[in-house]
Amino acid sequence: MLTFIARRLLLSIPTLLFISFAVFMLLQLAPGDPMAQVPLTVPDAVKEKMREALGLGEPPLVQYWKWLVQVFWIEPKVLIDYLTASSTLFSWLPDTALYQGELRVISWQTRSPVMDIVVQRMPQTLWVVGLAYVVGVLIALPIGVYSAYRQYSVFDQAGTFVTMIGFSIPPFFTGPLLIVIFSVGLGWFPSIYDTTHEVTDWDSFVVQLQQMIMPVMVLALQTTAQISRYMRAAMLDNLGADYVRTARAKGLSEAVVVNIHVLRNSMIPVVTVIALGVPAIFGGAIITENVFKVNGIGQLLITALFANDLPMVMTLTFIFAVLIVLFNLIADVLYGVLDPRIRYD
């Protein structure tokens, strides 16, 4: 198992390098110029200096190498410095001063390090997207189990119809629809996610809950549709198996047979699907964040794209790629851990 994980981790390094290289070369073709906003009165020599300060003006391969160094060498140093200096968890360690003021990945929009902005935006995305995923999975599992247990019943037919709808209605339609119904028509929830809102007491917690309900539900609908389909299929595969007949024959109650014997076996493929879906939901959240004006990672990517902020786009795309590769690995490992019949050697 350990050798398998090690091999997969090693294999993911060239994959990630290739992806980052491809994206970097793609971005080199971008028509925009970061100096376009600079006034025309600025002399060309000064502009050239400014361009060099942003790390431009060198051959693309050199730029790519510098980007690699910045992301894999300088940014970790900043992170370690932060951890040992000001985080609560590791501040007992002696202060390391690894970061000596080298050039970090700089955003062309704000002229500040990309990673700082990403760290600022991360909590909103994680709260909304993460909660949506958990809610979606929690709704999906019982629906899938019960639809499979009562196959072709009214509940199953209705569940299939709802999951089909969840597959088919895109988030950029459900989002505005929910806003029209619940914030314009009924006035229950705000239509815009207020990131500056701080939870201090019960009332502000209720406000936070209200503004989170709609984006979470939009994202959760899609998760529910997918996961409950898989759950139903996996349960159906197992319900007809011989060991289920044995369990029933030895007099176990239906609840024990379904919830312990069948469910645990059916969860094996479903858990991997859940793991595989995590990066996809980050990507899908781009649209939902845009609809509800959540200023998370997806919204950051969109604004960076429109502002021609290539280092930001590059780094964010790379973060998405890392998430995908990482969760693919986690899914494979989970599969092996949960199912002892799978052998990776």
Partner 1 sequence: MTEPVPASPKAIEALRDEGPLAPPRSQAADVWAQFRKHKGAMMGAAVLIFITLAVLLGPYIWTLDPQRLDIRNKDLRPIYTALWDGTANVSWGHPFGTDNLGRDQLAQMIAGGRASLAVGWAAMVLSLLIGTGVGVLAGYFRRLDGPLMRITDLFLSLPILPLLLVAVTLFRQPLRAAFGPEGGMFILIVTIVGITSWMPTARIVRGDILALKEREFILAARSIGTTSGKIIRRHLLPNVLSPIMVSATLGLATAIITESALSFLGVGFPSDFPTWGKMLADAVPRMSEFPERVVLPGTAISLTVLSVNYLGDGLRDALDPRLRGR
- Residues lying near partner 1 in the complex (CB under 8 A) are found at 15, 18-19, 23, 26-27, 29-31, 164-165, 167-170, 172-173, 176-177, 179-180, 184, 279, 283-284, 286-287, 290-291, 301-302, 305-306, 313, 316-317, 320-321, 323-325, 328
CB closer to partner 1 out of 208 and 328: 328
For the chain, what's the residue count? 345
For residue 26, give the H/E element and its range: helix 2-28
Distance CA 198, CA 289 (A): 19
Tokens of 14: 């060239």
Tokens 């599969």 correspond to 335
Is-contact 265 238, C-beta < 8 A? yes
Compare residues 76 and 170 and give the one whose CB is closer to partner 1.
Answer: 170
Least distance to partner 1 from the beta carbon of 205, Å? 28
> What's the closest the beta carbon of residue 48 comes to partner 1, in angstroms?
24
- Least distance (Å) between residue 62 CB and partner 1: 21
Q: Which is nearer to partner 1, 271 or 310 (CB)?
A: 310
Q: Which is nearer to partner 1, 113 or 298 (CB)?
A: 298
Given the complex with partner 1, which of 28 and 246 has the nearer CB atom?
28
Question: Least distance to partner 1 from the beta carbon of 250, Å?
Answer: 31
Residue 133 CB, nearest approach to partner 1 (Å): 17
Three-state SS at 73: helix
Minimum CB distance to partner 1 smaller for 82 or for 155? 155
At 88, the amino acid letter reads T
Cβ distance 219 to 136 under 8 Å?
yes
Q: How far is the CB of 267 from partner 1 (least distance, A)?
A: 24
What does 72-135 look like in DSSP terms, one character per residue? IIIHHHHHHHHHHHH-TTTTTSPPP----S----B-TTTSSBHHHHHHHHHHHHIIIIIHHHHH
Q: How many CB atoms lie within 10 A of CB 3?
A: 9
